């Protein structure tokens, strides 16, 4: 049995150890309520999407934490009632959160929460038993949240807060249908501080690094299930091979912008070209995509959070599909020109201390805001090391 007494005891001890090691720790319970947005025809009926959350939060005294305005870390466990148990089922989510705040007075502060993680769905799409659930076709999917609001120090170690929060869940086009979950909601929370907050004058000195140019290269593989977002298909996964090279510029210590030239071969495009019996001279090239991609990265020690948007310089297969009515949802054709990406990086060595920093990257490539494929990659950033701060 997964939740045996020994397993529960192990996690309780780990939590207790973490609480003792952190320089500030707290527990929080919260409740959110909203309604999943109806963004596609055939969307299932549903009532309010209700979420109950339990969060453990801690704070470490580091220069990066200081640069992000005394940022706090958290793990959040959530239970989701999507508003239609018979079709949409229930969900259990687990996320890492970065929590930012700005004091407005001794008791009142503005707060921002950004959460990344995964969710287990109890009743995903099934071609026999649950054909109505076009929202979630996978038992496991990504879960992203962003919240903004206010927190008030009520008394002693108790804090209350109210936030607007947006929840998004998607399997990143690895299984169809994949309309995805999008819920704007209102959240209220009660937080209890186990230990007192580290005074700002005792925090580590902020990073003070010179602006820095760099060169980066990356290789990645990706995969998806080809087909329309809202229509179930019975096809295998199709692979992509991607290579990218470009320039980056780091400024204000925690920001990096980049401009990359990306080329990837798309196995799903090759299948489309063959199925449609297109007359083409170079099948591999006609199945490939060339992208000029502009990106921004938030740097947090060994981690980076990346948001990309760019321009498709060469994308003949997708152009053909749109022009011939194979995508009947988006008529504006903006997806034909504008690609995007949301990704996480882990640097094995700190970029400010090493000339060459290798990294792993995991993310989702998109057509504008619609998921295209899941990708995993490795790469290297070459830049001039920074002098050590005193």
User: What pLDDT does residue 232 have?
Assistant: 65
Local confidence band at 14 (pLDDT 50, 70, 90 cut-offs): low
Q: Is the peptide bond before 177 cis (omega within 30 degrees of 0)?
A: yes
Closest CA to 275 of 330, 226, 217: 226
Average pLDDT over all residues of the chain:
87
Q: What global pTM score does this model have?
A: 0.84
User: What pLDDT does residue 143 have?
Assistant: 95
Pick from 216-220, 296-300, 317-321: least confident: 317-321
Local confidence band at 312 (pLDDT 50, 70, 90 cut-offs): very high
Per-residue pLDDT tens digits for 339-380:
999 999 999 998 888 899 999 999 999 988 788 899 999 999
Residue 229 tokens, joined: 């977002």
Distance CA 88, CA 38 (A): 13
Residue 128 tokens, joined: 């026999």
Which element (helix H / strand E) includes 269?
A: helix 267-275
Alpha-carbon torsion (128, 133, 137, 139), positive or negative: negative
Per-residue pLDDT tens digits for 240-273:
999 999 999 999 888 999 999 999 999 988 888 8
**The pLDDT of residue 329 is above 90:** no
Per DSSP, 50 falls in state E
Other CB atoms within 10 Å distance of the CB of residue 169: 25
Distance CA 221, CA 362 (A): 10
As a whole number, mean pLDDT of residues 7-32 equals: 67
Q: Are 111 and 165 in contact (CB under 8 A)?
A: no
Q: Are 382 and 370 in contact (CB under 8 A)?
A: no
Q: How far is CA 299 from CA 65, 209, 320, 356, in A?
A: 11, 13, 39, 16
Per-residue pLDDT tens digits for 84-124:
999 999 999 999 999 998 889 989 999 999 999 999 999 99
Local confidence band at 21 (pLDDT 50, 70, 90 cut-offs): very low
Distance CA 266, CA 223 (A): 9
Pick from 32-46, 55-69, 137-151: least confident: 55-69
Local confidence band at 389 (pLDDT 50, 70, 90 cut-offs): low
Write out the E strands in 227-280. 237-251, 255-266
Distance CA 368, CA 376 (A): 19
Query: 178 or 332: which carries more pLDDT confidence?
Result: 178
Other CB atoms within 10 Å distance of the CB of residue 219: 14
**The pLDDT of residue 196 is above 80:** no
What proportion of the chain, given as a percentage, has pLDDT over 70? 87
Query: 232 or 37: which carries more pLDDT confidence?
Result: 37
User: What pLDDT does residue 246 have?
Assistant: 97
DSSP per-residue string spanning 60-115: ---HHHHHTTS-EEEEEEEEEE-S-TTTT-EEEEEEEEEEEEEESSSSEEEEEEEE
Local confidence band at 384 (pLDDT 50, 70, 90 cut-offs): confident
Local confidence band at 126 (pLDDT 50, 70, 90 cut-offs): confident
Distance CA 287, CA 35 (A): 39
User: What pLDDT does residue 164 have?
Assistant: 97
**The pLDDT of residue 13 is above 60:** no
How do strand 212-225 and strand 303-314 relate by DSSP bridges?
A: unpaired
Q: Which domains does the chain have, with CATH numbers?
A: 22-202 (2.40.160.20), 212-383 (2.40.160)
Radius of gyration of the chain (CA): 23
């Amino acid at each position: 049995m997964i939740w045996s007494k020994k397993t529960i005891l192990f996690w309780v001890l780990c939590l207790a150890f973490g609480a003792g090691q952190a320089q500030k720790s707290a527990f929080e319970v919260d409740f959110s309520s909203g309604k999943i947005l109806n963004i596609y025809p055939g969307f299932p009926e549903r009532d309010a999407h209700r979420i109950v959350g339990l969060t453990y939060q801690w704070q470490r005294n580091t220069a990066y934490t200081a640069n992000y305005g005394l940022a706090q870390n958290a793990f959040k466990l959530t239970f989701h009632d999507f508003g239609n148990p018979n079709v949409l089922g229930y969900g259990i989510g687990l996320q890492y959160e970065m929590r930012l705040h700005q004091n407005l007075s001794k008791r009142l502060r503005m707060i921002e929460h950004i959460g990344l993680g995964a969710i287990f769905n109890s009743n995903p799409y099934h071609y026999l038993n649950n054909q109505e659930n076009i929202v979630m076709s996978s038992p496991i999917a990504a879960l992203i949240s962003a919240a903004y609001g206010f927190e008030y120090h009520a008394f002693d170690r108790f804090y209350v807060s109210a936030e607007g929060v947006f929840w998004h869940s998607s399997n990143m086009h690895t299984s169809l249908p994949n309309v995805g979950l999008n819920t704007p909601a209102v959240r209220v929370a009660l937080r209890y501080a186990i230990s007192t907050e580290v005074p700002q004058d005792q925090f580590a000195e902020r990073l003070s690094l010179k602006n820095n140019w760099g060169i980066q290269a990356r290789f990645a593989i990706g995969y998806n299930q080809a087909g329309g977002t809202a229509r179930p298909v019975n096809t295998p996964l199709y692979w992509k091979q991607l290579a990218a090279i470009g320039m980056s510029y780091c400024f204000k210590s925690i920001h990096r912008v980049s401009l990359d030239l990306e080329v990837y071969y798309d196995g799903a495009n090759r299948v489309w070209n063959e199925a449609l019996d297109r007359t083409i001279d170079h099948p591999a090239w006609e199945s490939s995509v060339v992208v000029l991609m502009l990106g921004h990265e938030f740097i947090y020690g060994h981690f980076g959070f990346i948001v990309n948007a760019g321009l498709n310089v060469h994308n003949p297969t997708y152009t053909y599909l749109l022009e011939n009515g194979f995508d009947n949802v988006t008529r504006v054709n903006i997806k034909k020109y504008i690609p995007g990406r949301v990704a996480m990086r882990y640097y094995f060595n700190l970029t400010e201390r090493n000339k060459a920093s290798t990294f792993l990257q995991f993310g989702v490539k998109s057509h504008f805001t619609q998921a295209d494929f899941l990708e995993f990659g490795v790469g290297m950033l070459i830049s001039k090391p920074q002098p050590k701060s005193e």
